[in-house]
Homo-oligomer: A and B are copies of this chain.
Amino acid sequence: MCLMVKCALCVHLIYSDIVQRSREELKAIRETNPGLKPTLAIIQVCLCIGLNVMQICLPRQCTEEEVSDEILRLNEDSRVYGIFLHLPQSFLSKSVRNAIKPQKDVDGVSDLNVGRVVLGDQRDGFASPIAGAVLEMLARHGVYLFVYAFRHMLLHLHSKVFTEMFVAVVICQHVVRSSRRWIQEQQYQPWRLHPLKLQPLSPVPSDIEISRAQTPKPISQLAQEVGLLPEELEAYGNTKAKVHLSLLNRLQHQPNGKYVLVAGITPTPLGEGKSTVTIGLVQALSAHLKLNSFACLRQPSQGPTFGVKGGAAGGGYAQVIPMEEFNLHLTGDIHAITAANNLVAAAIDARILHEATQSDKALYSRLVPSVNGVRCFSPIQMARLQRLGINKSDPSDLTPEEVRAFVRLDLDPEKVTWQRVIDTNDRFLRKITVGQANTEKGNARQTQFDIAVASEIMAILALTDGLADMRARLGRMVVGSSRNGQPITADDLGVTGALAVLMKDAIKPTLMQTLEGTPVFVHAGPFANIAHGNSSVLADKLALKLVGEEGFVVTEAGFGADIGMEKFFNIKCRTSGLKPDVVVLVATVRALKMHGGGPNVTAGVPLPKEYISENLQLVADGCSNLKKQIQIAHLFGVPVVVALNAFKTDTQAEIDLVCRIAEASGASAAVQCHHWSRGGRGSVELAQAVKKVASQKNYFQFLYNLQDSVVEKIRTIAQKVYGADDIELSPEAQAKIDYYNQQGFGALPICMAKTHLSLSHMPEKKGVPTGFILPIRDIRASIGAGFIYPLVGTMSTMPGLPTRPCFYDIDLDPVTEEIKGLF
Contacts and interface: CB of A to CB of B under 8 A. Distances in A.
A236 B238 contact: no
A176 interface: no
Interface residues of A, number: 126
Given A20-B817, A468-B814, 9 more contacts: A350-B800, A350-B803, A367-B803, A427-B439, A431-B436, A432-B434, A494-B807, A495-B807, A501-B819
A78 B343 CA distance: 42
Contact of A426 (B349, B497, B822): B349
A137 interface: no
Nearest to A425: B346
Nearest to A239: B234
A423 B102 contact: no
Contacts of A105: 105
A609 interface: no
B328 A501 contact: yes
Given A76-B224, A346-B801, A426-B342, A498 B807 contact: yes
Contacts of A434: 428-429, 432
A242 B237 contact: yes
A811 B367 contact: no
A501 B208 CA distance: 14
Contacts of A821: 497
Contacts of A435: 427-428, 431-432
Contacts of A192: 69, 73
A336 B235 CA distance: 19
B329 A336 contact: yes
A324 B497 CA distance: 14
Interface in A263-307: 302, 306
Nearest to A818: B24
Contact of A810 (B77, B498, B804): B498
Contacts of A199: 155, 158
A542 interface: no
A378 B807 CA distance: 10
Interface string A341-354: 01101110110011
Contacts of A425: 346
Interface of A: 17-18, 20-21, 23-24, 54, 56-57, 69, 73, 76-79, 102-106, 108, 155, 158, 192, 194, 197, 199, 201, 215, 218, 220-221, 224, 234-238, 242, 302, 306, 324, 328-329, 332, 335-336, 338-339, 342-343, 345-347, 349-350, 353-354, 358, 363, 366-369, 378-381, 420, 422-437, 439-440, 443, 446, 448, 466-468, 470-471, 494-498, 500-502, 504-505, 800-805, 807-812, 814-822
Contacts of A242: 237
B431 A437 contact: yes
A425 B821 CA distance: 36
B500 A812 contact: yes
A811 B215 contact: no
A803 B342 contact: no
24 contacts: A20-B816, A24-B818, A234-B237, A237-B505, A329-B505, A335-B335, A350-B800, A367-B803, A367-B808, A420-B426, A427-B440, A428-B443, A431-B436, A432-B434, A432-B435, A437-B448, A467-B815, A467-B817, A470-B814, A497-B821, A498-B810, A501-B811, A504-B817, A504-B819
Nearest to A235: B235
A215 B498 contact: no
Contacts of A336: 329
A755 to B, nearest CB: 18
Contacts of A471: 812, 814
Contact of A350 (B328, B347, B353, B801): B801
Contacts of A57: 197
Max chain B C-beta neighbours (<10 A), residue from A306, A379, A505: A306
Contacts of A439: 427, 430, 800
A238 B335 CA distance: 20
A448 to B, nearest CB: 8
Contact of A428 (B77, B339, B349, B368): B349
Nearest to A822: B501
Contact of A808 (B346, B381, B432): B381
Contact of A56 (B194, B346, B814): B194
3 A-B pairs with least C-beta separation: A497-B811, A468-B814, A498-B807
Contact of A433 (B420, B433, B819): B433
A158 B494 CA distance: 62
A440 B468 contact: no
B807 A504 contact: no
A24 B816 contact: yes
